[in-house]
Amino acid sequence: MDSNNQVIMHSDFADNDTDRENVEILTRPLKEKVSSTREGVHYVNLDGQKGYLGWNKIEETGWIIGNFVPISDYLDAENRKV
């Protein structure tokens, strides 16, 4: 999220044609929570996929760097440990 609270994301870093700007994937309450806190982790459902959204604000730029991890990825990793 940039300093104007516009979501800028790249759905597949291997494919530069899939850049998306000003994406309305976050609900207004979640966008407000993310923009009003320095860092956090929140359980979310993005486009029908359940997972965890983590973020950290870069104070010098006002930008927020986030990462979404599907719950299936987390559970797969946990199951491999066992």
Question: How does the average pLDDT of the chain come out, rounded?
Answer: 78
Residue 57's H or E segment, with its range, is strand 49-57
Query: pLDDT tens digits, residue range 27-47?
Result: 788 888 888 999 999 998 877
Q: From CA 74, how far away is CA 5, in angstroms rounded?
A: 28
Structure tokens at 9: 């994301």
Read off the pTM. 0.68
Structure confidence at residue 56 (pLDDT): 94
The answer to which of 4-8, 23-27, 64-68 has the lowest mean pLDDT is 23-27
Which residue did the predictor score with more confidence, 56 or 6?
Answer: 56
Which residue did the predictor score with more confidence, 25 or 36?
Answer: 36
The number of angstroms, rounded, from the C-alpha of 30 to the middle of its chain's C-alpha atoms is 10
| Mean of pLDDT values over 1-23 | 60
Q: From CA 59, how far away is CA 65, in angstroms rounded?
A: 11
Which residue did the predictor score with more confidence, 50 or 21?
Answer: 50
